[in-house]
Structure 1
Amino acid sequence: MRDTISNIAEEKLKRVLQQVDEETRHAMNKIWNRIRPGPDCPYITVAVSDMKQALCTGYFQRGEKAKETVLATVIPMRDKLKTEDYKVILKVVTETLRSDAYSKWAGSMVDVYRRKQAWPKKYENVHLDAEIALINAHGLNVSAQAVHDIEVAFKEIQLQRSAGSPSKLRYGMGLFGKWAYGTAAKWIFGILGSIIGVVCAGLIIALILDALGLKK
C-alpha cells in the first residue's frame, strides 16, 4: 500500500511539474528568440528582467501544482493511510520538487548572447550575479514553502482522523444549541434591562420629588 500510494503520487507529481516546465520553457524561448545580432536585440538587463519574471512564475506554479496534486491524491485515501505513509509521500515530494529546477536557465543568459552573436555592448560589463541569486533563492523558498504546506496539511488530516468527524445530527444539534443559547441570552438580558430601567427611573423620580419637597 505504501509503495503504491507513493508511486502514484510521484508519477502524478512528475507529470504536472513537467507541464509547468514546458510552459516555462515556452516563455524562455520567447526571450531567447529576441536575442540576435543587430540594434533591435534587447540589452541583457532587459532580457534578465523578463527571465526573472518567467522563472519566478514557473517556480510558483510548481509549488502550487505540487500541493494541489499531492492533496488530491492523498485525501480520497486518507482513511487507509498511516503515519509512515505520509512520511514516505512527503519524502517523495521533497525529492521531486527540486528547488534548482531552473538554475541552469538562470545562469545561461550570457552564453546565449555570445552564441547568438549579439553585439558585445548589449551584454558585456554587466553584473548579473544578484539577479541570478534572487531567482535561485525564489526557487528555494517556494519549494520549501510548498513542502511545508503539504506537511501541515498531512498533519491536519491525521488530527481530523484521530478526533473523528462529528455526525450531521451532532453538528445540527450544536448549531441549534448555539442559536437557542443566543436567543435565550438576548431574551433574559432584555428583561433584565427593562427591569433595571424601571428601577432606575423610579429612583430618579424619587430623588427629584425629594429635592422639590414633594415627597411624602
Structure 2
Amino acid sequence: MKTVSRVSSLLLALSCVLVVACNKKPTETSAEAVASTPAPVVTASAIEPVTPAEPTPEQMEMAKKKALMDYATMEDQYINDSKAQWASDAKASSTFGDKSSSGPATSNMAINVKGAVDGKNWTNNQQDIGFDWLELSYEKPVAATEVRIVFQDGDGVEAVNKVELQSTDGKWNTVWEGISDQKRDKRGGRTWFVRSFEKTPYKVKAVKVTIANNVQPGYKVIDAVQLVGE
C-alpha cells in the first residue's frame, strides 16, 4: 500500500508541474520594449564623403566663355545706356610724372578721362600716400541716380572712398563715402566701380571721386566716368 501511495503522490506532483507549465504565458515583446531599444549610432567616420567630380576641360572652357559673355553684356549695357553721359572735361589733384623735370606725359593726364571708354587713362602720382581726387564736368546737368567709374585693370578700384556731386549752384554733395567693396573684375581688362543712389532733387553738373591711396597701394588708373540721370 505504501508503494501505491508514493506512486500516486508522485503522479499528482507531476500533474501540478505540467498544469503550471501549460498555464504560463510566453514572453511577449511589447511596443515599449522595442521603442526603448536604442538605434545603432552612425558615426561620421562611417559615412563616406562624396567627392565632387572634377570639371572636364570642355566644361572649364565653357565656363570661361560664359564669364566673358556675361562681362561683355554688362559693359554693353553700361556703354550704350541712353541715360548715361561721359565727361566733357576733367582735372585731378596729381598726375604721374608731376615731379619729374619734364612734367607728366600726355598719356597720364586727367584730360584722357574725357569721353567714352577708349583705353586712354589718367594715372595719379602717389602709390600709397595721402588722397587723390579726380573731378569730371558734364555738358547736360541731370537729376542723377548713379555714377560709374572705369578702372583700367582694376588699378585703384578698391581705394575709392568718396563720391561727390556738384549741383548747378556750385554746391558739393556727398552721395557715398566709405570703404570700397569692389574687387578687380577678372573677366575683362576693366573694372566698373558703380554706385547707385536716390535721384537727386537738384541738377548735377560735375562729379568728384576721391581715392585713399594706401588702401590699395599702386598707381590708380581711370579710363572714363559716367554720370547717369535724367
TM-score > 0.5, shorter chain as reference: no
More helix by share: 1
For CA contacts below 8 A with separation 6 or more, give which structure has more relative contact order. Answer: 1
> Normalised by the shorter chain, which TM-score bucket?
under 0.3
More strand by share: 2
What TM-score results when the alignment is normalised by the length of structure 2? Answer: 0.21
What TM-score results when the alignment is normalised by the length of structure 1? Answer: 0.22
- Max Rg structure: 2
